[in-house]
Structure 1
């Protein structure tokens, strides 16, 4: 196995916001607590220690023990759950939707980043324990975001109507998806492992939450991963004071809007926008927004309504019916977990930056924010092809047309770069501008027009010559195109497109251990791995 890396900025696939954050730009410091460096976790531990209540730890452990009652958990996971009741134990957390069969490949990268950070923290701070958490986004309700995965260039899709919380969705109908996937897998032991994994997860569990938990546990249980299903009455009871405050005071909207204006002033985009009330009402087959109209609380698209006293009574009697949206979900997470760090993708971190002020208003410690590991995985055969084509790690991230033009210019027997001639032409026109100034300034426009015409003519000739060389070197162009399309399917990052099953067919049980052994969550660079 070979491991290399390049900067996130050099990939060209990450926003200016994320690149500035990784560079620790001063303009972003108001939007986060501490930058994720190993030495900075000391202060984060001390701050979280003073805020997390023992009651929260006890409730969390009791809930997890019940949730794992029918799960074949490893000793490492069981020990991690037990340790959460200890005041010296803290968590590092990642979250993800309940995508069918894990969805895009970066599901693995998120969890591996979390596992490895927990391990690094234990080595640095041996007196403490650090538990890796996967927070299942089981209360999400956008079924179309999670009902498919890509496999061998095809979309394996679950065609069913989904409503309410995704986690409660019945797995009925997934047998047809399994049959389609099974046929595409082909033959062999690795294919059989994937068949059994899909079958056991989705055909032997009643809803999407239990199916996803089974799958994640099977993939990562040996590393002590703890999976939290936060759609739980006892856990939400810990969040009641914040639910009440959101309903009565509606402080989130103001706090987040204030931060949004500051972020926009820096020319960064806004990821999420708050609402007056950032809560949904949750029941079987239903997850709809709660709104306040003329002192009456209502659930959109229903006949449900309450007065202020009535809805507060509802919260205390049925806290499980109140579901935080994207603005409040992170706050809920940090209330119930002794968490130090949240690990997410660029889009996730972008909306976390909008939330620090709201955390402060709610007197909840804001976690450290870490960009998850991003990875490009190559086979040895692909690595050899890239070497023969003399394509560097930086080059393969270029847009395809730019890459091909660059390589054709490099390998062509003739010089296709006319920049020297264009610069020479510009220097000649400088003298003409001086002459026009001395004679008749009305000629300046004519000189400028002639300059543009001749430069455009040279550029046109350069393009025609390049096009001719592409035809001549057609084989070279085809090889470059083929290998880049393999590594960047549909012109996007591999990790955002492929499902892990496609790489499992290639690398089998070595896939996850190779990621565990290679990825360094605090390195802050894009990893490029060549696996045997």
Structure 2
């Protein structure tokens, strides 16, 4: 299977923050623990091993066994769950929202990165077992972010009212979504497999968390993936000391604000901002912020309130009702998992960088942070067209206007690049500046204005000629832009837009194995694959 790699920086789709991190810039080192290199995991294993309690392992395994009782589970996954009892077993973790039918394609890339890293670490450190974890974001409440997926340029959407944590949402209305999706799928073995997956996932489960777990398990269970549903009483009980500290001291806000100031001083933007209390209160139909006003703890938009002693009793009696927000969720994850590394996208890593000092004050080991694999998948037909049109993998990542301009210049039989003429013109004006300064300095401004006018004239002429040449080469331009549209729908990365089902129609049950075979999580480059 042909593959190629491009640096994340050269794609033009990744922030300076992420590119600097991949380059191991000195300025970012205070915001993470260890850079994700194979040799650095030895120290991470030792640090996590020294702090992670056996009682936590036992609770985690008991909860996972109960959660998997209603799932058809592979022997690899069952073995990995059992292995978590062992003090020499650790995890690598990725997390994702409960997007309808997995949402964008990078859902697959995240989990494949996690599976492959676990295998690579196990090979490198044979005395340890490494388990890949998918953390379901079942406590999120932003339904509008997850209620659709894109399929062949169409938005397949689940329309309904929602409240509370999305994992608890019942699957009412998904029969209508299935009917629309089924019509779009067409005929064939792969289309039938997708219909069966959607039906078994959403039409045979009562809530969104169970449905998502079924689908992820169906796609990745054979590779030993363990799926954690952390909205659980016993797991939350392990987090109680940190919940109490958040309520009583509000230390997270202070620590994250200090880090935010340091990040802003480096001219990087912020992904998240802390609150005084970074917890929600959740019941079946409620997920609202907890606030402290005049020594009274309140749940916004409700009549629920407590004194200090009352809320501490509530935490002890019903820990499952306290839900960490984006500031505390990573801390919760690292408290209940023997985790070495978190694998996420650029935006996720950016907010993890804001959290290290908060981990330190809570005395929890900060995990290594790895940018997930990013992938562009081409069919052989698309790859052949790119070759025939003399379009390189690097060319195809250019933004639309730059891409068209570059290719028109390349295939044109006339030279539409006036950079040399402009350079020559500017050299001539240097002499005029010297002459003006020697005769009458008041003319320097006039020379400058004339230079700007003539340079603008050449640039405008270049644009007009380029536009005329585009019209002349209209057929070739349309073929090139159509191909780029296929690979970069809506002028965005394929993985951020396209749903896996579109590629499954083409490649069937070889899609995931091909990704498993080709993605190298520690390589640190954007992968281009031809299936």
TM-score, normalised via structure 2 length? 1.00
Q: Quote the residue 1:92 is aligned against.
A: 92
Q: Quote the residue 1:40 is aligned against.
A: 40
Q: Quote the residue 2:496 is aligned against.
A: 496
Q: Quote the residue 1:75 is aligned against.
A: 75
Q: Quote the residue 1:255 is aligned against.
A: 255
Q: Quote the residue 1:131 is aligned against.
A: 131
Pair 1:317-2:337 in alignment: no
Q: Which runs of 5+ in 2 are unaligned?
A: none
The SS at the match of 2:91 is strand
Q: Quote the residue 1:65 is aligned against.
A: 65
Q: Quote the residue 1:416 is aligned against.
A: 416
Structure 2 CA distance, aligned partners of 1:405 and 1:89? 54
Q: What's the offset of the Cα at 1:396?
A: 0.5
The SS at the match of 1:119 is helix
The within-5 A match list for 1:446-457 is: 446-457=446-457
Q: Quote the residue 1:301 is aligned against.
A: 301
Structure 2 CA distance, aligned partners of 1:301 and 1:395? 52
For residues 478-530 of structure 1, give each alpha carbon's deviation from its aligned partner in whole angstroms, at most 9, with x where no partner exists: 11100000000000000000000000001001100000000000000000000
For residues 155-214 of structure 1, give each alpha carbon's deviation from its aligned partner in whole angstroms, at most 9, with x where no partner exists: 000000111010000001110000000011001110000000000000000000000000
Structure 2 CA distance, aligned partners of 1:266 and 1:444? 38
Q: Runs of at least 4 residues of structure 1 off by over 6 A?
A: none
Q: Quote the residue 1:473 is aligned against.
A: 473
After superposing the two structures, state which structure 1 stretch, 471-480 or 52-61, moved more.
471-480
The within-5 A match list for 1:161-172 is: 161-172=161-172
Q: What's the offset of the Cα at 1:432?
A: 1.3
The SS at the match of 1:394 is helix
After superposing the two structures, state which structure 1 stretch, 406-415 or 109-118, moved more.
406-415
Q: What's the offset of the Cα at 1:424?
A: 1.2
The SS at the match of 2:24 is coil
Structure 2 CA distance, aligned partners of 1:215 and 1:96? 13
Q: What's the offset of the Cα at 1:468?
A: 1.1
For residues 390-410 of structure 1, give each alpha carbon's deviation from its aligned partner in whole angstroms, at most 9, with x where no partner exists: 111111100111111111111
For residues 29-57 of structure 1, give each alpha carbon's deviation from its aligned partner in whole angstroms, at most 9, with x where no partner exists: 00000000000000000000011000000
The SS at the match of 1:409 is helix
Q: Quote the residue 1:112 is aligned against.
A: 112
Structure 2 CA distance, aligned partners of 1:245 and 1:444? 67
TM-score, normalised via structure 1 length? 0.99
Q: Quote the residue 1:148 is aligned against.
A: 148
Q: What's the offset of the Cα at 1:121?
A: 0.3
Q: Which runs of 5+ in 1 are unaligned?
A: none
The within-5 A match list for 1:109-258 is: 109-258=109-258
Structure 1 CA distance, aligned partners of 2:123 and 2:315? 42
Pair 1:101-2:95 in alignment: no
Aligned length in residues:
531
Q: What's the offset of the Cα at 1:224?
A: 0.3
Structure 1 CA distance, aligned partners of 2:152 and 2:407? 28
The SS at the match of 1:69 is helix
For residues 88-146 of structure 1, give each alpha carbon's deviation from its aligned partner in whole angstroms, at most 9, with x where no partner exists: 00000000000000000000000000000000001000010000000000000000000
Q: What's the offset of the Cα at 1:428?
A: 1.3
After superposing the two structures, state which structure 1 stretch, 402-411 or 123-132, moved more.
402-411
Q: What's the offset of the Cα at 1:284?
A: 1.0
Structure 2 CA distance, aligned partners of 1:277 and 1:144? 25
RMSD: 0.6
Q: What's the offset of the Cα at 1:454?
A: 1.2
Q: Quote the residue 2:51 is aligned against.
A: 51
Q: What's the offset of the Cα at 1:263?
A: 0.2
Structure 1 CA distance, aligned partners of 2:138 and 2:238? 18
The SS at the match of 1:68 is helix
